[in-house]
Amino acid sequence: QERHSVVCGDGFPKARLMFIGEGPGEEEDKQGIAFVGRAGQLLSNMIKAMGFDRNSNTPENAVFIANIVKCRPPGNRNPSEQEAAACLPFLQRQIELVKPQVIVLLGAVALHFLLNKTGISKCRGTWLDYQGIPVMPTFHPAYLLRFESQKTMFISEKRKVWNDLQQVMARMKLPSSAK
Ligand code: URA
């Protein structure tokens, strides 16, 4: 009821790599585009560092970015079970249409609502599965930004995410038959 835009997703519909976050924040709600706020800028940089580009229209290095919920929960609270359940069919269809080679789940909320799993700290860095698609859970970029003023923690948590993303990069270089 309070949202300004419905934020469906952003990127190339035939991307090999898909990222799934939690839900639009204030900036995303304003612009109607996923991950364009501060967490989005960090995500865009991570995507670049992986050799992909969120503005690319070339299947080889394009990405698709979506969220569990398509409308901003008021005040950026976590989405409720009911809100996530209402939006999930849209996300499931997005995954079906994009058919990514790999999905990266960003944070505990995405892990919980897509795979019904808890414990992002334990699960991150380990391969999971969504209907035959390999899934790598990692920390949400907004979580990393919480440590911005604590340099040592910021670096160590970022390093964990980078290790997870390197696993994704290594897996995507394999021919699909060798997966
Ligand atoms: N955080 C998310 O999980 N998704 C967005 O689109 C923006 C911030």
Instruction: Select from 63, 53, 71, 74 the least CA-distant residue to 20.
Output: 63
Indicate the SS3 state at residue 8: coil
Residues with CB under 6 A from ligand 1: 21-25, 28, 34-35, 37, 39-40, 67, 142
Mean pLDDT of the chain, nearest integer:
95
Is residue 157 over pLDDT 50? yes
The span from the CA of 27 to the CA of 82, in Å, is 23
CA of 138 to the centre of ligand 1 (A): 14
> Atom of ligand 1 at shortest distance to CA of 141?
1
pLDDT in tens, 55-96: 999 999 999 999 999 999 999 999 999 999 999 999 999 999
End-to-end CA distance of the chain: 43
Pocket test for ligand 1, best of 10, 28, 47, 144 (most atoms within 8 A of CB): 28
CA of 25 to the centre of ligand 1 (A): 6
DSSP 80: P
Residue 115's pLDDT is 98
Is residue 142 over pLDDT 50? yes
Residue 177's pLDDT is 42
Residue 179's pLDDT is 41
Match 């409308």 to its residue by tokens.
Answer: 71
CA of 23 to the centre of ligand 1 (A): 5
Residue 173's pLDDT is 85
Residue 139's pLDDT is 98
pTM of the model: 0.95
Residue 151's pLDDT is 96
The span from the CA of 33 to the CA of 178, in Å, is 35
